[in-house]
Structure 1
Amino acid sequence: ISDYGKSEKVIGIAAVKGKGWNIGASEWGNKFNALFKGNIQEIRVARKALTEKEWLVQDARDDEPFEGSNKALPFLMNKKNYNFLFVPDTQKYSSQNPEIFNSQMNWISNNTKKNNIIMNTFVGDIIDSDLEKQWQNSLGAISLLDKKDVPYMMAAGNHDYADGDPFLTHYGPQRFLNKTYYKGSSPSGYSSYAIAKAGSYEYLVLIVDMKNLHKDLEWSKKVLDLHKDKPTILVSHDIIFPKLKDDKTLAVESSNGRLIWNELVKYHNQVFMTVNGHYFGIAHRVKQNAAGNDVIQMLVNYQTNYRGGNGWLRLVEFDEKKNVLVFRTYSPFVDEMSKKEKSYIDYKFLTGEYNSFKLDWDFKNRFNFK
């Protein structure tokens, strides 16, 4: 199964300059990087793509690489509930599969109101490399949100920084000035915050930039100090990463994540959730702050999966009546496919324990910041 979309011509496999083609390894910064885990039994070289009948292994497939469902599942269990949506790293869509990016943004623009989505937040790495085509691919998709006046905020990732600050040119403060939910940006222009009402509360979404983290710390603290009464979701590109131990995925904080926790989360009781991308994979944990209250930390990044992420988005449904948060992973791109187009790993909902889960959440007690 090709990882690439209609827009990308696959020419070969990864190469390191002066060392030929790599089979079973990838290239990163012109060095070998681990990719393949397993055994290669036989290698054949052909002058063209082979038909299925010519494949060495017939009906080749992984053993259930994902747990998923193509059933119609609700996004709201109660019409009074509401969602926050997070867009994982989109870099492979900007570089290889813009049709997936367009599908995501089209769905968000047409379904935000219907599914009571309060804020759509990008976790960073909007593009893969600083090429004008990739910026334009991202702009073509994200502009769909502006046309429908859909609320969204954007964090930058390490792939978004380049000479001349193209991220600020395309997605800096000027883009959000006329949006009522947007409340301001840091002096660097990369960090920002928004306020949006939902249910019984006014929520604050704080973007803390990865590259300008130290520079923007004091500004971020001031924002939090001015809004101690508002439940806050903090989004930055680099906070936690997944670590496998005894076949279980654990969430571990990075050095940036440790600084964010100590300076912006631990003693700011209103911060109840952090979300990031950057690291390959998914993970979440619940950690206690200095007041002994729960803080949910979540990593969502599918870029190393099929088609660079297959269009999966992360939604969190807030149910104040039942005191629960419901986490879902959904792909509008797969949802739009016909049955014939779907491969055995195309699911519109991912259902494994790290992609679909619930957390008990006592709203009144947790959001009482007095």
Structure 2
Amino acid sequence: MAAVDNSPEPRHVRRRLVLQAAVGTPAAVAAASTLGTPGAAAATIGGRADTDSPRFTLAVLPDTQYLIDEGGSDPEPVRDTLNYVVRNQGRSNTVFLAHLGDVTEHGTEAEMRTADTVFRAVHGKLPYSVLGGNHDVSGDDQRGDTPYLRTFGPSRFARMRTYRGSSPDGYNSYHVFTAGGRSWLLLALDWRVSDAGLAWTRGVLAQHPELPAILTTHDLVWADDDGHAHLSGHGQRLWDGVIRGHDQIFLALGGHYWPPGRTTLTNDAGNPVHLHITNYQDRYYGGAGMLRTYSFDLVRGAIDVETFSPWLLGKKEHRRTPLEAETVELTSDVDHFSVSIDFAERFAGFAPVVVPPPRPASAVMPRGTVAYWRFDGAGLGEAGTDGRVIAPGTVARDLTGNGNDLRAQRLHDSAPEVLTWSAEHHDAQPAHASLRFDGGKSPDRGAVLRTGANAPLNSMRFESGYTIETFVKLPEPFEGDHAWMGILSWEGKARDAGKFSGWSADEPTCSLNLSPERFLQFVVYPVPVDADPTSWSHAVPVGRWMHLAVVNDGRRTVLYVDGSRIARNAAEYSRGISTLGKPFALGGTQFNEQYGQGFYGWIGDTRIVSRALRPEEFLTARRR
């Protein structure tokens, strides 16, 4: 922070935020075990980042000025932090390191030489960016030559694989790094961006309109003691001149002020932009080389943020002084938190998810396919419109040509809207269509699609194995009582197959259902024995498409959800299905040869194969 600060922010923002993070607490222990120890051997941790993994880390290093001060300081904590990030880049999947400015205290030639030496720990080993803070430079980015520019200007980054260029003055730069299977843009802007710098920044964004962008600068927001952040004068200039009008920018990070804080603002596209301040120079030992990690999880839709000192973590716990123990890890809600982001939705305005095109039926019928139904024009004979009622008697053709066509039937006195056509589908589903079932209880209502009386599937016993797949989505909100509703089944009573071991001899011999807790239940009566081995899933989600697969190899049955094997698969011997020559049904399960409620939700492509398939052969797989 500048010795003379003419910024308009109130004086109280300089006050120290007291944080408690005593050594030996569960959080500190967890950090040490999860993040590793700076003293650990590189061969043990090491490794390179996996740019295809949906989980990756952006490392952020704030103001280091008090540790790189020719008047008397210690750069070792900064060097330890950089070494730590390099050693752990494989373990934490760190793809980039961003410094937020104020590298040095006075910006002198001597301090820049020290900084140059310290940054050799990371140079050539991990992509990184550095930007100028008010202790490194003065004035705006048109200031001309400085020791900072000669040290951290374009020539330093010219051979870095992520570096894409700098503004003509050399003080603003940008990088493009790869993580999570896509490219990301990182802007490293000077502490005082001129009109020319703003124009250059807008030009960079215009050249990369499809890339999600992270903006880093030194002076962006300041925070109250409660951690709520506000735009600074320069931050307001960036907000008005760049951030609010460019939907790509979803995260903006700054240093300069303390205490740390965060806020979320809404841009001109109506989307959230997360703005954070991270700076710990006011804390013990000039911040002790404090590191902040932004761990992206594209699957969970979250960015998990942690703040800790690798230098202090490297000290043996019993040798840490009280101040060191207090500083080793920071766990307040502005230092250790998660940001929820639906990345696909947030980026849809500039980089919409490209859904794979539909695949023809011929591409998804491997050897042994006995039935395949889909609800697009190929399966129903005509393209649909959302909400179009599927009339009783409508045929969904078995595209294998084996004669297992399904025919729609309403249950009880159900209204026409109980079965409608939908354009909704799983992104990996071969056909871009589904059927919407509106089944329920009290009174029972629903619809099913059934094979004909003479369909070959009715009597197939699959003693050599089978794979049954379908795509399902449950509504959100999941309203009403739908306990034990059926997804698919074979009709008939277990007693007629000589099976009495199950919950009831009146239940069908094979069915996939949903329990009151939204656990999937696959129950089957094998051919040779009187048994009912049953598989149970976890509580499945609502409002999201799932791919379900039941795989039997002639000995055991395994249920998969989204390609993941569940834990509660039946251990009992299970060979074949004790079918009774009665119809296969989609959308319901009988009891005592009568249907009660029907399915509630969407059902998409459904396929049955007379052998066990591997997950890479499921309907979700795309051949390269």
Length-normalised TM-score, structure 2 = 0.47
Q: Show the counterpart of 2:190.
A: 209
Divergent runs of 4+, >6 A: none
Equivalent residue for 2:120, pick from 143, 146, 160? 143
Shift of 1:63: 12
Matched, 1:103 2:72: no
Question: What is the CA-CA distance between 1:249 and the residue it aligns to?
Answer: 2.4
CA distance in structure 2 between the partners assigned to 1:202 and 1:164 by the alignment: 32
Q: Which residue is 2:207 aligned to?
A: 226
Q: Quick one: which of 207, 215, 232 aligns to 1:254?
A: 232
Q: CA deviation at 1:132?
A: 3.5
User: Take 1:150 and 1:358, find their aligned partners in 2: how far apart are those partners?
Assistant: 25
Larger CA Rg, structure 1 vs 2: 2
Partner residue, 2:158: 177
Give distance in 2, aligned partners of 1:164 and 1:202.
32
Contact 1:102/1:140, CA 8 A, preserved across alignment: no
What's the secondary structure of 2:322's corresponding residue? Answer: coil
Q: Distance in 1 between matches of 2:254 and 2:234?
A: 11
User: In the TM superposition, what are the counterparts of 1:41-56 in structure 2 within 5 Å?
Assistant: none
Specify which structure has the bigger relative contact order, considering alpha-carbon pairs within 8 angstroms and separated by 6 or more residues: 1
Please state how far the C-alpha of 1:113 moved relative to its aligned partner: 2.8
Are positions 1:236 and 2:210 aligned together?
Answer: no
SS of the residue corresponding to residue 314 of structure 1 reads: strand
3-state DSSP of counterpart to 2:256: coil
Contact 1:182 1:193 in 2 (8 A): yes
One of 239, 247, 270 as aligned partner of 1:292: 270
- Residue 29 (structure 2) aligned to one of 67, 71, 80: 71
Query: Do the aligned residues in 2 keep the contact of 1:188 with 1:212 (CA within 8 Å)?
Result: no
Paired with 1:318 and 1:64, the residues of 2 have a C-alpha distance of: 28
Give the letter for the 1:141 counterpart: V
Distance 1:253 1:102 in 2: 31
Q: Distance in 1 between matches of 2:268 and 2:120?
A: 41
Give deviations 1:197-245, integer Å, cap 9, x for gaps: 111421000112123433301000000111111010001111100123x
Shift in Å at residue 80 of structure 1?
Answer: 4.1
**8 Å contact kept, 2:192–2:234:** no
User: In the TM superposition, what are the counterparts of 1:1-370 in structure 2 within 5 Å?
Assistant: 28=3, 65-67=19-21, 69-73=27-31, 74=34, 80-95=54-69, 96-147=73-124, 149-161=125-137, 164-244=145-225, 248-345=226-323, 346=325, 347-370=327-350
Shift of 1:282: 0.4
Match in the other structure for 1:45 = none
Task: Give the whole-Å Cα distance in 1 for the aligned partners of 2:318 and 2:283.
Answer: 21
What amino acid maps onto 1:229 in structure 2? E
Structure 2 CA distance for aligned equivalents of residues 199 and 242 of structure 1: 31
Question: Could you tell me whether the CA contact under 8 Å between 2:154 and 2:166 is conserved in 1?
Answer: yes
Contact 1:243 1:251 in 2 (8 A): yes
2:224–2:259: 8 Å Cα contact kept in structure 1?
A: no
Distance in 2, matches of 1:238 and 1:92, equals 17
Identical columns (%) = 27
User: What's the counterpart of residue 416 of structure 2?
Assistant: none
Q: CA deviation at 1:75?
A: 5.2
SS in 2 for 1:258: helix
Q: Secondary structure at the match of 1:150?
A: coil
Q: Secondary structure at the match of 2:288?
A: coil
5+ long unaligned stretches in structure 1: 1-26, 39-61
Distance 1:194 1:164 in 2: 22
Whether the 8 Å contact between 1:75 and 1:317 is mirrored in structure 2 is: no
Letter in 2 for 1:111: N
Report how far residue 141 of structure 1 moved.
1.3
Pair 1:218–1:63, CA change in 2 (3 A): closer
**SS of the counterpart of 2:295?**
strand
Residue identity in the other structure for 2:108:
L
Alpha carbons of 1:291 and 1:164: their partners in 2 closer, same or farther (altered >3 Å)?
A: closer
Q: Secondary structure at the match of 2:319?
A: coil
Q: Does the Cα contact within 8 Å between 2:95 and 2:126 map onto a contact in 1?
A: no
Q: Is the 8 A contact 2:78 2:288 kept in 1?
A: no
CA distance in 2, matches of 1:297, 1:200: 25
- Change in 2 beyond 3 A, CA 1:331/1:101: same
Q: Residues 254-282 of structure 1, C-alpha deviation per residue, up to 9 Å, x if partnerless? A: 11101101111111000001001111220
Question: Is the CA contact (8 Å cut-off) linking 1:229 and 1:369 kept in structure 2?
Answer: no
| SS in structure 1 at match of 2:348 | coil
Distance in 1, matches of 2:316 and 2:109, equals 33
Amino acid of the structure 2 residue aligned with 1:351? T
Q: Distance in 2 between matches of 1:213 and 1:352?
A: 35
Matches of 1:63 and 1:231, distance apart in 2? 32
Unaligned runs of 5+ in 2: 5-10, 37-49, 139-143, 351-624
- 1:202 match: secondary structure: strand
